[in-house]
Amino acid sequence: MTAFVPSNILAILPEILLLSLGVLVLVLDPFWKEENRRLNLGWLTAGGLLVVLAVSLALARPSAPVLVFGGMLRYDLLGFAFKMLFIFGAAITALFMMDVEQVGRRAEAYLLLLVAALGMSLMASAADLVMLYLAIETTSIPLYILAGFLTGDERSTESGFKYLLFGALTSAVMLYGFSLLYGFSGETSLYALAASFPTFSLLALGTIFLVLVGLSFKVSLFPFHFWAPDVYEGAPTPVAGFLSTASKAAGFAVILRLFTVVFPSLSANWSLILAVLATLTMTVGNLIALAQKNIKRLLAYSSIAHAGYAMIGVVAFSQLGAASTVFYLIAYILTNLAAFGIVTAFGHVAGSDDVKAYYGLSRRAPTLALMMMVAFLSLAGMPPFGGFVAKVFVFAAAIEQGWVWLAVVGVLNSIIGLYYYMTVLKYVYLYRMEGEEEEKHPIPLSRPYAIALTVLTIGIIAVGVIFAPWFGIATGAAMNLF
């Protein structure tokens, strides 16, 4: 147990700042007039988050990894990198939330967002089972509420409820797994657990399965992905975006840390399990996405598939593998947030999430269409966008460790993905609206959306072209694991 050192405060500086921001939002809210509320809340949250990001980057960057707060947290680059991602994601989501009816004007929504981000940050650096569980719940509960935030909408309520039930169930199973871990070892610290599992044992494998239940739910891995399409469809779109990106990334952070730290000796086994699950996830996600007529559901299944791709990096139990997963998540967060953001902006004006509503988008809003093209092509894995580089690295990591068949599966799935992404783009660029009067139905973009989408688009291209610095960060994070 390490003694408390004042400099350890820096380890939780982002969390502290997030909490402060949350309080600030809550406190300031009653003082604002109704009509200004949405703008003020949104800008305050987003701006505040950016400040948090800047301050953390400036002050709270870890040097050597160290366990702090009695071993509850590990102050290392892995956790830090993920934290910055979550904060960035939350900032963008806050901007997107601003224009959604019933959500944008409620301070509670922003507060929940911030709390969820807080929980995720803790998840990323958790080094203790108890802390881990606490962080997961801290993340999940606000997200349950956010999913069901549109109280008047049946689907939103259903989505929130479904998310809650599913989440609670899987969480319980995972907790059981945690308790078994404690039972076997007498330790709750992740870094001490490894000693208790030096070799393969069926019990260890069983525990892995139990833990995996909860984590699979978080990253929507087969077979615990069923909640995702319904929840994404029903939830307010920016929330869906946040769920599909930051929440998933948090789950991955946990998986990375847990599996590489606690079960390195069983890596052959859990790698295989994860490989099979990744295969099923990608395939199921992509195949079902082919049939979707609702764009949110399509993106939901697409997100499921992407979890599979990212998992390939985890399966390649190596530094390159972990780095490629982290890089994948960086690119993926940018891309998926952009996709959901576009859907939000469009849905706001058109009032529909049916794919058919997107016919002729390129003539109604050429710039928005271009951004959509960038996002979707990045999802498909086309250069010069981040998705391409991410996929190549993930496959490279797999091949390095001999998982050639997995890389082939990933590649084949990319092809299926390409098909439906291109189909959507076809609707946007080729097909015409009914009546062909696109000029009369433009899609205006409000300022927050314009800013958010521009940042994301530039980010997608930047990550795809100048990928060395980002991969450097990812590698630095991965080094903490190996």
- The residue (of 223 and 472) whose beta carbon lies closer to another protein is 472
Under the binding rule (CB under 8 A), the answer on residue 361 touching another protein is no
Q: Binding to another protein by residue 317, rule CB under 8 A? A: no
Q: Does 203 bind another protein (CB under 8 A)?
A: no
Structure token pair of residue 182: 């404690």
| CB of residue 386 to another protein, shortest distance in Å | 12
Asked if residue 66 binds another protein (CB under 8 A), the reply is no
CB 313 within 8 A of CB 324: yes
- The answer to the question of residue 425 lying near another protein (CB under 8 A) is yes
Among 143, 278, 298, 382, binds another protein (CB under 8 A): 382
Query: Could you tell me the smallest distance in angstroms from the CB atom of residue 464 to another protein?
Result: 9
442 is a contact residue toward another protein (CB under 8 A) = no
Please report whether residue 429 would count as binding another protein according to CB under 8 A: yes
Q: Which is nearer to another protein, 19 or 418 (CB)?
A: 418
Q: Is 408 in the site for another protein (CB under 8 A)?
A: yes
Number of residues that bind another protein (CB under 8 A): 36
Binding segment toward another protein, per CB under 8 A, in 35-43, 161-169, 331-339, 417-425: 417-425
Task: Name the residue nearer to another protein (CB basis): 243 or 425.
Answer: 425
Region of 53-61, 272-280, 426-434, 440-448 interacting with another protein (CB under 8 A): 426-434
| Binding flag, residue 377, another protein (CB under 8 A) | yes
Give the count of alpha carbons within 13 A of 155, CB side only. Answer: 13
Residues that bind another protein (CB under 8 A): 362, 366, 370, 373, 377, 380, 382-384, 388, 392-393, 395-396, 399-400, 404, 407-408, 411-412, 414-415, 418-419, 422-423, 425-426, 429-430, 467-468, 471-472, 475
